[in-house]
Chains A and B, each alone.
Chain A
């Protein structure tokens, strides 16, 4: 507000009243000056002319310290400035990134051999010490990291300059997958010691394909291509990330040419953008998997397997996908999504039939259906209402109860397993591309969100979580999915597409996890 004083003639003698009233006008002029000054600070035109890709997603990163964030929006930005040890390729397999190879040397040790000659943007060498430092920093409570994937890691040892051993408390078969995103980022130890955490978050330094340029919170984050990247220089010269919280702002940005590519759109948001000239909308099979959790632990109709099967028959998932999701999703037969390790293509989805559902309900003693509640976060209101309508067709009266996202997530993770009522709608992003990630918190009887207890299922989960042999794990997953298909402890719904809306400039395809790694992107000038 010091501008106010610039508009005022500083007068040692006391100004007269009239004088003050007159300068009031000047003062107000000065007040509105900053608004006019920023008006010409736009760079969109320059970006359009250059080889710059402008990407927009639903939000802004929370922080640029990669170990102090745990949300996809932040990770999508940071993956361009930082490298991880492993990466998930378009073929859904793990590929080398900063680690060239890895193997389990014994039940509780994973050995990683690192890529030689990698340096951080500031020239610091990225070696085994940097990797060990990064993992130790993530696990240090003082870091307050919200990243939970490395829960079984208990220590790291540097074997030699390019080899590290990661020690776990139990065998963790999917550790290399967990190091392909949040858990596997490598940060520069010497630089961090020099500048401290706060300065590092203000100006991140990684080994990634782009270097940090500037960040105006909630407006735009700019990066430049890193010519010295070990994988060669990216095709685009610059990368700009900006937040567009809703469909209308995305549309406005795409139409005005301020943005080339919008990611993270929900299917109904994408439908709003459909049909505008110059905008194409592509859906790619994703990994975010939606399901209804059924509480079988409380007395009620849901304890009967036939009732649970009836719900699965009643909910016509393909119709739901077509009607509510604009076709931008794929039916998921038994919780584990297509494309992730452990998916068994021989397990078929339920036949969709209201008659079968009614027959099963009658057999279970509910010839006239029953009443229940379906709880969901209010961001999923449309899907929840549609589900309720489909259930009504079979005589099940499911009242929809919508909660704000904060309350919803608090109840989801509370120790009271009935906190979200008898039926709730949930979704999980299986970014490790391993079935364990979606099964782990929902099924085994000692886990917080498990609402169906089966000794057989617990045995199979132990087999898939702890076996060292991938074939054994795969078998356990198959058996588990067949068991769940039979017992129907959930209503299995769909895996949602990664939806990209773009103009005609960019050429880029997302992987199944939908991570916005733009190293491979190209733009036409």
Chain B
């Protein structure tokens, strides 16, 4: 299942350093683009062959009392009786025209189905991002200011828990508490703000931990530097120092990691959507897998891979622009 990017990519170290580019900005961009395309090509290939190991979709499409001839006819009309290699070439040919084929189950173009489900996933990821920032930024600041004291220890314990608890388990726990015991929020469904709360919180837990931890450590770095000491000497209060001087310098790595988290949030939606039956791309992926809907599985896998690749690319490119220390010659 790791092909589905269910595993989180390794979290960046406390202060990510990106390699600077000395070959001129355009060539760097071009090289990165080509790498990204190559990665997507590999993903498409792996997805194509892996999904075909799962069995015969015709067995699921037809009822048990279908005859062998009927299965053969359907297999032929779906093009599944061609050789694996011929099917692969067909698939690649389609990809060149951005044609992902037709779903075996729904019978409509895969791209249409994906487009239908995308808004729900983006909504969930956006809400989770909002939750992340609202919780992580104050928590990170508090922990940095109260370094080594009770508040800090509490925040860091929360961070440890948040980073090590699997999201589906958090989701089930939240359903148990807020939907079953307290009857305060719906356990599943889509369409109202109340429906959005539990899945967004579930999805945000991991990101909150990552962002809070990083903000805390980069703030601590900044707060021990010279110009902060001079700011203190001017008589600013501790909170003013942090907000007016510290945050500005500590925010760079945080912006980077938030960017990376956007990819995580879009990709992490699979399990969360499944738990809350949220009608997004994640839920669609699980359905497509259990239906052995080859073209649809291939497309959703590609979608998640592309999300990560694009987000990484954007973070890479913006980094050199944001950080004066790695600004390339223009």
Contact = CB atoms under 8 A, between A and B. Distances in A.
A70 B62 contact: yes
Interface size range of chain A in the complex: 35 or more
Interface string B36-62: 000000000000000000111001111
B255 A144 contact: no
A21 B322 contact: yes
B50 to A, nearest CB: 15
Interface stretch (A30-38, A183-191, A231-239): A30-38
A256 interface: yes
Contacts of B70: 148, 151
Interface in A1-46: 1, 17-18, 20-21, 24, 28, 31-36, 38-42
A252 B62 contact: no
B189 A148 contact: no
Contact of A258 (B124, B179, B189): B189
Nearest to A20: B322
A24 B255 contact: yes
B68 A415 contact: yes
Nearest to B70: A148
Given A62-B106, A219-B191, A406 B290 contact: yes
Contacts of A245: 188, 277
B130 A21 contact: no
B67 A151 contact: yes
Interface string A148-160: 1001000000000
B123 interface: yes
Contact of B129 (A28, A217, A256): A28
Contact of A413 (B66, B188, B248, B321): B66
Describe B's contact surface by its main secondary structure: helix
Given A24-B255, A39-B192, A217-B279, A256 B186 contact: yes
Interface stretch (B71-79, B82-90, B223-231, B297-305): B71-79
B274 to A, nearest CB: 10
Most buried by A among B73, B279, B322: B279
A414 B64 CA distance: 9
A415 B69 CA distance: 12
B64 A413 contact: yes
Given A32-B129, A413-B64, A21 B248 contact: yes
B116 A409 contact: no
Contacts of A217: 113, 116-117, 279
A441 interface: yes
Contacts of A405: 290
A198 B292 contact: no
A410 B191 contact: no
A198 B112 CA distance: 11
Interface residues of B, number: 62
Contact of B123 (A34, A151, A409, A412): A34
B56 to A, nearest CB: 6
B127 A35 contact: yes
Contacts of B129: 28, 31-32
B75 to A, nearest CB: 10
Interface in B272-330: 277, 279, 283, 290-292, 321-322, 324
Contacts of B279: 216-219
B322 A42 contact: no
A24 to B, nearest CB: 6
Given A249-B187, A252-B179, A148 B108 contact: no
A68 interface: yes
B266 to A, nearest CB: 10
B108 A198 contact: yes
Given A141-B76, A151-B70, A410-B55, A440 B65 contact: yes
B187 A252 contact: yes
A428 interface: yes
A285 B199 CA distance: 39
Given A28-B133, A36-B193, A65-B107, 16 more contacts: A18-B248, A24-B255, A34-B122, A35-B127, A38-B123, A42-B192, A144-B77, A148-B62, A151-B70, A217-B113, A219-B190, A219-B191, A219-B279, A248-B188, A252-B186, A256-B186
Interface of B: 54-56, 59-68, 70-71, 73-74, 76-78, 105-109, 113, 116-117, 119, 122-124, 126-127, 129-130, 133, 175, 179-180, 186-193, 196, 200, 248, 251, 255, 277, 279, 283, 290-292, 321-322, 324
8 contacts: A34-B122, A35-B200, A36-B193, A141-B74, A217-B113, A252-B189, A428-B64, A449-B64
Pairs A-B, 10 closest by C-beta atoms: A218-B279, A39-B193, A441-B65, A32-B130, A410-B59, A249-B188, A35-B127, A31-B126, A148-B66, A35-B123
